[in-house]
Structure 1
Amino acid sequence: MGMAAPMSAASLEERLHRAAEKGDAATVRTLLAQGARVDARNPAKATPLLVATRHNHVDAAHALIQAGADVNAKDAIEDSPYLYAGARGHLEILRATLAAGADLKSTNRYGGTALIPAAERGHAEAVAMLIAAGVDVDHVNNLQWTALLEAILLSDGGPRHVQIVRQLIAARADVNLPDGEGRTPLQHARQRGYRQIEALLLAAGARPG
């Protein structure tokens, strides 16, 4: 009986992507041990770690990071495991990417850091983690918005976003930094009737006009 042909690298890596998508950490480890490249790209240029991160598969993500996966590797639309975990509030994976050398200055396709979409989407725990890690709270994205502006402009003004505004103020975000049209966070909060946010901004030194 002839010996079985060795599995091709391409086949190993396709299986690695499928295992990452399913969250099968044991198979991820097995395939890596068999020689699958930890940062192999799929047709969308995503790595297995980004695939696992998109599905919030914590164990599979940990297995890949422990094997040296690049937490900053971007796909075709400029998502990386670190940026995606921050934007989606996937806290365990975000924590692991930060520990593994996440580039705090890296930006998404909108020119924003991980902090900006985290603030917009109301992920207060992720915001706290990113602030503590040292992400620039006053970074301005391609839309000329900061995390503070997005927490007001693109929110419902509810408790999660009030908490995020409070966190950003505590981190010394510039409460008077305007958008590209010269409108300040306070003006946007007033326009939307977000009274709690307005009060926080005024207490932090926002100029009324």
Structure 2
Amino acid sequence: MNKMKDFFNEVANGDLDKIKAFIENGIDVNEKDENEQTALMVAVMSNNPEVVKLLLECKADVDAFGIHKEDRNPINYASAYGLVDIVKILLEYKPNMKLLNVYGGTPLIPACEQGHYEVAKLLLEETDVDVNHINNLGYTALYEVTFSPNRSSVYVDITNLLIKHGADRNIKDKGGRTPLEIATKNGLEAIANILEGQ
């Protein structure tokens, strides 16, 4: 058990040589630590692209679920936190875009909600993620863009991106409101104009 703990410590620290030595000596890269995380998830959470790449090359499961808050697998976590370089590496290994977070959402939804344009663009252009997926709260990615009055210009770009990739502007939330209605209510004039087709 100490050997496994040491391995996870090196993954968190990002020491590639020591990680390689553990793997060469037969450590199981898909074993979970006491927090139910795989080494890959720990590397993603540590924002260490080189370690992520090494583990994937050594057959780490790109879809392994952990228990980290709401973002329970590597692509969900990396997308929600805007870790662009890690998202790019993960996408090379074809993660399952139908694996949902605890809110029943795809990686695209938190990426849009948090304003991570580059991540959203990667997901839409390089995966089969459902642009119109509705999470357990009743929200689509497009709806999440309009959710707050304090939206910077990047959210305008994300709105255009979503529309370009087929986002349905007429899907309503559980309260019967469209993204346009929410954008208008929150004073998001530029976004509302896009949603009106102007």
Give CA-to-partner distance per residue, 1:95-121, whole Å, 9 cap, x none: 111111200111001100000000000
Segments of 4+ moved more than 3 angstroms = none
Specify the code of the residue in structure 2 equivalent to 1:27: K
CA RMSD of aligned residues (A): 1.3
Task: Check 1:64–1:155 CA distance in 2 against 1; reply closer, same or farther (3 A cut).
Answer: farther
How far the C-alpha of 1:154 sits from its partner, in A, is 4.2
Query: Does 2:86 match 1:93?
Result: yes
Q: In the alignment, does 2:175 pair up with 1:184?
A: no
Q: 1:136 aligns with which of 130, 134, 137?
A: 130
Q: Please point out which of 12, 27, 32 is paired with 2:23.
A: 32
Q: Is the 1:107–1:114 contact (alpha carbons within 8 Å) kept by the matching residues of 2? A: yes
Summarize the Cα distance change of 1:116–1:196 in structure 2 as closer, same or farther, 3 Å threshold. Answer: same
Aligned to 1:147: 141
Q: Which residue of 1 aligns with 2:57?
A: 66
TM-score, normalization by structure 1: 0.89
Task: Report the residue type matching 2:44 in the other structure.
Answer: T
- Higher Cα Rg, which structure: 1
Question: What is the percent sequence identity of the aligned residues?
Answer: 33
How many pairs were matched up? Answer: 195
Cα distance in structure 2, aligned partners of 1:71 and 1:174: 30
Structure 1, 20-29 or 176-185: larger mean CA deviation: 20-29
Q: For the residues of structure 2 that align with 1:154 and 1:108, how far apart are their CA atoms? A: 21
- Secondary structure at the aligned position of 1:203 is classed as coil
Aligned runs of 1:1-209 on 2, under 5 Å? 10-77=1-68, 79-132=72-125, 133-154=127-148, 156-203=150-197
Q: Distance in 1 between matches of 2:40 and 2:64?
A: 9
| Deviation at residue 155 of structure 1 after TM alignment | 6.4
Contact 1:128 1:167 in 2 (8 A): yes
Closer/same/farther in 2, CA of residues 54 and 154 from structure 1, 3 Å limit: farther
Letter in structure 2 aligned against 1:68? K
CA contact (8 A) 1:124 1:164 kept: yes
- 2:168 is paired with a residue whose SS is coil
- Separation in structure 2 between the aligned mates of residue 72 and residue 184 of structure 1, nearest angstrom: 33
User: Which segment drifts farther, 49-58 or 89-98?
Assistant: 89-98
Which deviates more, 11-20 or 64-73?
Answer: 11-20
* TM-score for both structures, normalised by structure 2: 0.94
Residues 115 and 154 of structure 2 are in contact (CA less than 8 Å); yes or no, is this contact kept in structure 1?
yes
CA contact (8 A) 1:121 1:155 kept: no
Distance in 1 separating the partners of 2:194 and 2:182: 13
Letter of the 2:82 counterpart: G
Using the TM superposition, give the Cα deviation of residue 26 of structure 1 relative to its aligned residue in structure 2, in angstroms: 1.9
